[in-house]
Amino acid sequence: MKAATSCFLFAMGIAQAALAGDDLTLNARQIQDLGIVTAALPAQQQGELAGMPAQVIIPGNQLFIISTPLPAMVEQTMVGVGDAVKKGQLLARLQSPALAEAQRGLLQASTQAQLANDNLARDEQLWKEGIIAESRYRATRSQHLEAGAALAERRQMLRLSGMSDGAIARLQSGNNLNSLLAVTSPIDGVVLEKSASAGQRLDAAVPLFKVARLEPLGLEIQVPLANIRGLKVGAAVSVPAYGATGKLTAIGRSLSGGNQTILLRALIQQGAASLRPGQFVEASIATASDSGAQWSVPNSALARVEGRTLVFVGTAKGFRAEAVTLLHEGAQHSVITGKLKGDGKIVVHGVSALKASLMGIGGGE
As for how many domains the chain has, the answer is 3
Q: Is the pLDDT of residue 8 over 50?
A: no
Alpha helices (runs of H) in the chain, residue ranges in sequence order: 2-17, 28-33, 97-128, 134-160, 165-174, 351-361
Query: Measured between alpha carbons, how far is 147 from 149 in angstroms, rounded to an integer?
Result: 5
Query: Measured between alpha carbons, how far is 209 from 91 in angstroms, rounded to an integer?
Result: 8
Q: Is the pLDDT of residue 242 over 80?
A: yes
The answer on 138 and 28 residing in a single domain is no
Q: Is the pLDDT of residue 138 over 90?
A: yes
Instruction: Give residue 307's pLDDT.
Output: 83
Q: Is the pLDDT of residue 231 over 50?
A: yes
Instruction: Give residue 46's pLDDT.
Output: 61
Instruction: Give residue 297's pLDDT.
Output: 85
The answer on 241 and 193 residing in a single domain is no
Instruction: Give residue 3's pLDDT.
Output: 42
Instruction: Give residue 152's pLDDT.
Output: 93
The answer on 103 and 203 residing in a single domain is yes
Instruction: Give residue 208's pLDDT.
Output: 95
Q: What is the CA radius of gyration of the chain?
A: 37
- Which of the residue ranges 20-24, 69-73, 229-233, 254-258 would you say has the lowest mean pLDDT? 20-24
Mean pLDDT value of segment 243-254: 93
Mean pLDDT value of segment 266-271: 96
177 CA to centre of own chain = 45
Residues 85-129 have pLDDT tens digits of 999 999 999 999 998 898 999 999 999 999 999 999 999 999 999
Q: Are 300 and 348 in contact (CB under 8 A)?
A: yes
The answer on 177 and 130 residing in a single domain is yes
The answer on 195 and 128 residing in a single domain is yes
Of 186, 174, 119, 181, give the one whose Cα is nearest residue 148. 119
Q: Which of 184, 212, 240 is the last residue of a domain?
A: 212
Residues 51-60 have pLDDT tens digits of 889 999 999 9
Q: Is the pLDDT of residue 43 over 90?
A: no
Percentage of the chain lying above the pLDDT 90 cut: 50
Top-confidence residue, 204 or 296: 204
DSSP H or E stretch at residue 266: strand 261-270
Out of 158-167, 212-221, 297-306, give the one with best mean pLDDT: 212-221
Instruction: Give residue 202's pLDDT.
Output: 92
The answer on 90 and 181 residing in a single domain is yes
The answer on 266 and 205 residing in a single domain is no
The answer on 88 and 207 residing in a single domain is yes
In the structure, what pLDDT confidence band is assigned to residue 187 with cuts at 50, 70 and 90?
very high
For helices 134-160 and 165-174, what crossing angle results, to 10°?
A: 120
Q: Which of 212, 236, 260 is the last residue of a domain?
A: 212
In the structure, what pLDDT confidence band is assigned to residue 143 with cuts at 50, 70 and 90?
very high
Q: Which of 174, 191, 212 is the last residue of a domain?
A: 212
Residues 190-227 have pLDDT tens digits of 999 999 899 999 999 999 999 999 999 999 999 988 77
**Per-residue b/e over 50-79, b at no fewer than 16 CB within 10 Å?**
bbbebebbbbeebbbebbbbbbbbbbebeb
- Which of the residue ranges 1-15, 267-281, 334-348 would you say has the lowest mean pLDDT? 1-15
For residue 277, give its domain range.
50-58+214-286
The answer on 140 and 157 residing in a single domain is yes
CATH number of domain containing 317: 2.40.420.20
CATH number of domain containing 253: 2.40.30.170
Instruction: Give residue 233's pLDDT.
Output: 92
The answer on 144 and 14 residing in a single domain is no
Mean pLDDT value of segment 17-43: 76
Q: Is the pLDDT of residue 357 over 90?
A: no
Quick one: 347 exposed, middle or buried, by C-beta within 10 A (0-12, 13-18, 19+)?
buried
Instruction: Give residue 18's pLDDT.
Output: 40
Instruction: Give residue 364's pLDDT.
Output: 37
CATH number of domain containing 183: 2.40.50.100
The answer on 297 and 166 residing in a single domain is no
User: Mean pLDDT, the chain, as a whole number?
Assistant: 85
pTM of the predicted protein model: 0.62
The answer on 78 and 43 residing in a single domain is no
Top-confidence residue, 334 or 186: 186
